[in-house]
Amino acid sequence: MAYTPTEWKNREVERPRTYNFQNNDDGTTTLIPAEGTIVEPGTPIVAANMNNIEQGLVDLSQNKADLESPVFTGTPKVGSDVIVTSKNITDYAKPPVNFDGSTTDKTLTVGPGKMFTTIQAAIDSLPAWRGYYTVINIDAGTYAGFTISNKHGGKIQINGNAAGVFISSDITVSNCTSPIGFYQFTSNSSASNLMNIDNCRYVELYKVNKPGGANGIVMNRTDYVYVFTCTISNIEAFVFNLRGGGTLLAENCTGANTYCVYSVTAAIAYDKSSGLTATNRILKSNGGQVFA
């Protein structure tokens, strides 16, 4: 049964809270209202009215609102805005496209007779959105450069794991919120740049070698890049070419025979690598800063 609310009204009188005393034979006193003119009698606080409230609470507890009930017909809206209900929530709250739903960490292998023959194939096997940590272990050999783009969620770790892992062309990392790590391999001098990083959250390199080429790391619009214990030598232009904001920390890196270690434009570098030497150590512009 639908609840019928009681319309409550205040009692309005000429002289509120005014009484006459009547002394009774038994020694008691009776207060007799002397309110004068009654403007509005008000709604009496009586059992019928109070029990109507109680019954409404009982009905509500026994018949909880169900958003899939016929109370909504068609598409419920407030003005032109659709109300999201338990009936239509899947139309508005969906997991991202290319999301596999797994939470189990994964290890992929690359090399002859392994899960993948190229690094790019291993990366391409990953969905754009992941809730797990992925390690890609690479067997000794020479592999083409690769691109990691639009990867979000759990960290991706590329492991060379051997002195015999060589990358023959540029590595590109772009538009990733996943942390990306690179460990223990060599970028051949045939690769123009060791790595191009653009619009990423966090990238780190450990024991990565670059024996020649145009640039080491070209970083643009990236929050943070951490380079530690890497050897980058014989670079024609810049070991670290930073543009468009972000921060790079180079720690315990070495290298020589290079034109310039840091080119910093509207970005910040922390130099903890005195073993990196060059004809010019630092070139700065547009607010770029290098801190020792």
Whether 78 has a pLDDT exceeding 80, the answer reads no
Whether 86 has a pLDDT exceeding 90, the answer reads no
Whether 144 has a pLDDT exceeding 60, the answer reads yes
Q: How confident is the prediction for the chain on average, in pLDDT?
A: 88
Residue 34 CB contacts under 8 Å (≥ 6 apart), including other chains? 15, 18, 19, 20
pLDDT at 103: 80
Range in 26-35, 56-65, 170-179, 227-236 with the lowest mean pLDDT: 56-65
pLDDT at 109: 96
Choose the most confident range, by mean pLDDT, from 34-43, 66-75, 253-262: 253-262
**Residue with the larger pLDDT of the pair 3 and 95:** 3
* 106-291 maps to CATH 2.160.20: yes
Whether 75 has a pLDDT exceeding 80, the answer reads no
The Cα 262–Cα 106 span in angstroms is 36
Whether 134 has a pLDDT exceeding 70, the answer reads yes
What sign for the dihedral angle of Cα 235, 290, 179, 164?
positive
Pairs from 8-12 (Cβ < 8 Å, separation ≥ 24): 8/43, 9/40, 9/42, 9/43, 10/40, 10/42, 11/38, 11/40, 11/41, 11/42, 12/38, 12/39, 12/40, 12/42
Give percent above pLDDT 90 in the chain.
65
| Number of neighbouring beta carbons within 10 Å of residue 168 | 13
CATH 2.160.20 intervals, the chain: 106-291
pLDDT at 131: 87
Whether 67 has a pLDDT exceeding 50, the answer reads no
pLDDT digits (tens, 9 = 90+) for 168-184: 999 999 999 999 999 99
pLDDT digits (tens, 9 = 90+) for 10-54: 989 899 889 898 999 998 999 998 989 999 988 988 898 889 888
pLDDT at 161: 78
pLDDT at 55: 85
Whether 76 has a pLDDT exceeding 60, the answer reads no
- Angle (CA) 238-187-231 rounded to 5° is 60
Whether 66 has a pLDDT exceeding 50, the answer reads no
Whether 70 has a pLDDT exceeding 50, the answer reads no
pLDDT at 148: 98
pLDDT digits (tens, 9 = 90+) for 185-200: 999 999 999 999 999 9
pTM > 0.85: no
pLDDT digits (tens, 9 = 90+) for 266-288: 999 999 999 999 999 999 888 89
What count of Cα atoms within 13 Å lies in the side-chain half-sphere of residue 81?
A: 3
pLDDT at 80: 65
pLDDT at 85: 65
The Cα 21–Cα 2 span in angstroms is 46
